[in-house]
Structure 1
């Protein structure tokens, strides 16, 4: 591994050295949960504590993480507070459904997201990336300022719309990124009533402003479904065999209800591209502060594209591009927390023989945010060092110490899709342009549904010389 003395350390909250008061916990959770965690969360394998009189187990030990998410997954359901936040938005979408509904949905969508099928989307990903890259053609060598957070949201939406919905989502894309940001800001945040475990019918004042944009999203999905159903009836031989058609074909008593189909389409429109978009933006930001990484990526991109290699091969042929994206997801995981709750009493025994009793009802916090920055498992954990993920080094990274896509039965169904999309998008953008940070601009990560920059990510985009 390249042990440089001064790798870039991107902005992030420092671990707390003094435990917060009860009132401060509430304020911090409402403002930015990433600022809540103290030194023990970054140094200990697990912590037993209480939040609002509820037993909580914060888990960083990879063995215990595997036990909760894989070996004993049936005993750990989605936590109540997570569902109180997400279910009002996604209802029975794949991220929030449980039991038979989740099993039906997961089984239905699995064929679309197999590695083989995902590779089939490479050409469309390349075409939409190149189309979006044209947005920057007028920047010149002097450059122009763009909010890269917004741009990557628009670009990822364009790719998802084309690959999974054949470009037939009924919406106006010029306002889409603003709508997504508004939805996540208003709806995808903790409300005081969530912390108090108030039932769903109790109004969440912090989310009232998000109802209109949620209704707008629901209308977009309903219109998209009606348009495709009409086409399926009138011209059945001329219907795209994509994700949207597949879901609609599953409608029926032994498949998915129309409501469940709507929920899953909304999940992929709203959340399916959001995670990739945030990770792309953080990658460009970190690379802008790491000249040796950018040089390695540009050299690699130029060499691979000069050979005429097909885009489906880029993921394997561009290890520096892939490693930089993976390192950005380590530092800024798209899903910063994975929350579960124990259904029955349980017990885990570590390899050293130490046992942990887990009582029924205990909230389990598996947090990629702290796990990925943990001093027990990472060298220079706060530094941006893509070298960790190069082929010669990645074997040292344990499966359960790096969780950008989760793990176990509920691991992200679109992981291969997202990785391929990211490498193609980065290669297209960085072949033609330079993305530079603006001096004096403070970029600060906040946790909403994803890890995103608080006030956007203005950067200077210029043509490569």
Structure 2
């Protein structure tokens, strides 16, 4: 008899029974795009829908995803709607740039995010995580409620600032959580004018008020760049060789323009830490509802830390911690939708012999949100089951079935960085504290720029016995 407890099923919109009307689609997309999808999106290998007579294909079959994003990726550009949403914020940053601009930026930043280089950030990630938990030091034995979503934004921002900018980001670090949330709330969601493909100069009513916050971030970037450039002029031999310096050194006719550098810095400040912050918060939330998983993680963390293992080794030495983080990424992918648009005609034939024909201009959606919860590819797809990602089980997961960081040429450049950051942060947090659910709270996922809790994520934070790291 299987004595394991039933896995926790975290909150998510129930798939719709019918196709929405155009006005319903607009209203739902404005409120929460995760609530758009009907049952077929979670049951069929692909499906079609129409909006204002425009054809859209939702791709769930792993082989179709490989075709679209890897084998014939050159035939698919970013969809117009996606760009209408994101380009006003990120302009020619890595997430929104295309063609030669994207290739230049990606090539320029690649050295910072190689696995070897990313592992070199482990010590800084550990130091900033240990510094962060000092904010919980005054919590009494009974614990207190804290908004974990905001807390994780603060933590990942501190890590990003230290690792990529050597702690020299301008601006007020104490207000960054609220600033990021305000920016994404106003600027990072679909407006009805976007869905109707109105040109960028047409006002977006939902974004009124967001311009001021965007200008604040732009000033922050400008001040950061100016301070580093001044330091590079005055003391070129005493400049941190970090992400910021690398970008500024690439400025010039054969490298990046100053505008492109500014756009990429804004992308990493505004979105680079946001994705990891959401993943950490959802992990703590799911673990807080899964005592048997938490017990495995706490035992593993205590054992590895007691052995004095260096943090660079924790990703491999803490399989349960890594698995919990990856399972949260499955259930709540930070980027819930990858939107593409066909440049030329294309077709794909399934292993069963069915063929899809894709005309130029057709929108193709590869959605980690539906793919990761799909009935064809996952056992108990809506349940939090980290054991799926333990080493002995990983082989059963298709490479194109699980894509929290995307796939193909535009795979997230910081995937290795984010995974290491997630494991180190979770180990430090769970070493000293427990994060428990607050029964009266109702956490609900919404899609803005990322998958985030609608009204925050209140959790009870309580101290636990701390296992000291051994000193070698």
What's the TM-score, normalizing by structure 2?
0.97
Matching residue of 1:127: 127
Work out the CA distance in 2 between the residues paired with 1:59 and 1:212: 37
Counterpart check, 1:98 vs 2:98: yes
Counterpart check, 1:260 vs 2:292: no
Matching residue of 1:380: 380
Counterpart check, 1:276 vs 2:276: yes
Work out the CA distance in 2 between the residues paired with 1:436 and 1:296: 16
The alignment partner of 1:340 has SS state of strand
- The CA deviation string for residues 240-280 of structure 1, in whole angstroms up to 9 with x for no partner, is 00000000000000000000000000000000000000000
Work out the CA distance in 1 between the residues paired with 2:51 and 2:388: 35
The alignment partner of 1:198 has SS state of coil
Deviation at residue 3 of structure 1 after TM alignment: 8.6
Counterpart check, 1:26 vs 2:26: yes
What's the TM-score, normalizing by structure 1?
0.99
Q: Unaligned stretches of 5+ in structure 2? A: 466-472
Matching residue of 1:443: 443
Matching residue of 1:286: 286
Q: Runs (4+) of structure 1 moved beyond 2 Å?
A: 2-5
Work out the CA distance in 2 between the residues paired with 1:388 and 1:3: 18
User: Could you say if the C-alpha distance between residues 5 and 135 of structure 1 is closer, same or farther in structure 2, counting changes exceeding 3 Å?
Assistant: closer
Matching residue of 1:312: 312
Matching residue of 2:348: 348
Work out the CA distance in 2 between the residues paired with 1:3 and 1:404: 31
Matching residue of 1:249: 249
User: Could you say if the C-alpha distance between residues 325 and 255 of structure 1 is closer, same or farther in structure 2, counting changes exceeding 3 Å?
Assistant: same
Work out the CA distance in 1 between the residues paired with 2:409 and 2:359: 22
1:29-44 to structure 2, matched below 5 A, reads 29-44=29-44
Matching residue of 2:46: 46
- The CA deviation string for residues 178-202 of structure 1, in whole angstroms up to 9 with x for no partner, is 0000000000011111011000111
The alignment partner of 1:50 has SS state of strand
User: Could you say if the C-alpha distance between residues 3 and 180 of structure 1 is closer, same or farther in structure 2, counting changes exceeding 3 Å?
Assistant: farther
Work out the CA distance in 2 between the residues paired with 1:406 and 1:140: 42
Work out the CA distance in 2 between the residues paired with 1:387 and 1:130: 27
The alignment partner of 1:452 has SS state of strand
1:203-242 to structure 2, matched below 5 A, reads 203-242=203-242
Matching residue of 1:337: 337
Work out the CA distance in 2 between the residues paired with 1:182 and 1:229: 29
Deviation at residue 114 of structure 1 after TM alignment: 0.1
Matching residue of 2:113: 113
The alignment partner of 2:55 has SS state of strand
The alignment partner of 1:29 has SS state of helix
User: Could you say if the C-alpha distance between residues 120 and 15 of structure 1 is closer, same or farther in structure 2, counting changes exceeding 3 Å?
Assistant: same
Deviation at residue 22 of structure 1 after TM alignment: 1.7
Matching residue of 1:425: 425
User: Could you say if the C-alpha distance between residues 3 and 385 of structure 1 is closer, same or farther in structure 2, counting changes exceeding 3 Å?
Assistant: farther
Deviation at residue 5 of structure 1 after TM alignment: 5.4
Work out the CA distance in 2 between the residues paired with 1:57 and 1:4: 39
Counterpart check, 1:180 vs 2:180: yes
Matching residue of 1:84: 84
Work out the CA distance in 2 between the residues paired with 1:354 and 1:195: 30
Work out the CA distance in 2 between the residues paired with 1:20 and 1:77: 27
Alignment RMSD (CA, Å): 0.9
Work out the CA distance in 2 between the residues paired with 1:3 and 1:75: 50
The alignment partner of 1:15 has SS state of coil
Deviation at residue 350 of structure 1 after TM alignment: 1.4
The alignment partner of 2:208 has SS state of helix
- The CA deviation string for residues 185-226 of structure 1, in whole angstroms up to 9 with x for no partner, is 000011111011000111111112100000000000000000
Work out the CA distance in 2 between the residues paired with 1:206 and 1:96: 21
- The CA deviation string for residues 300-344 of structure 1, in whole angstroms up to 9 with x for no partner, is 000000000000000000000000000001000000000000000
Matching residue of 2:402: 402
The alignment partner of 1:27 has SS state of helix
Matching residue of 1:10: 10
Work out the CA distance in 1 between the residues paired with 2:378 and 2:234: 57
Work out the CA distance in 2 between the residues paired with 1:5 and 1:420: 29
The alignment partner of 1:109 has SS state of helix
- The CA deviation string for residues 163-188 of structure 1, in whole angstroms up to 9 with x for no partner, is 00000000101111100000000000
Matching residue of 2:469: none
Deviation at residue 4 of structure 1 after TM alignment: 3.9
The alignment partner of 2:446 has SS state of strand
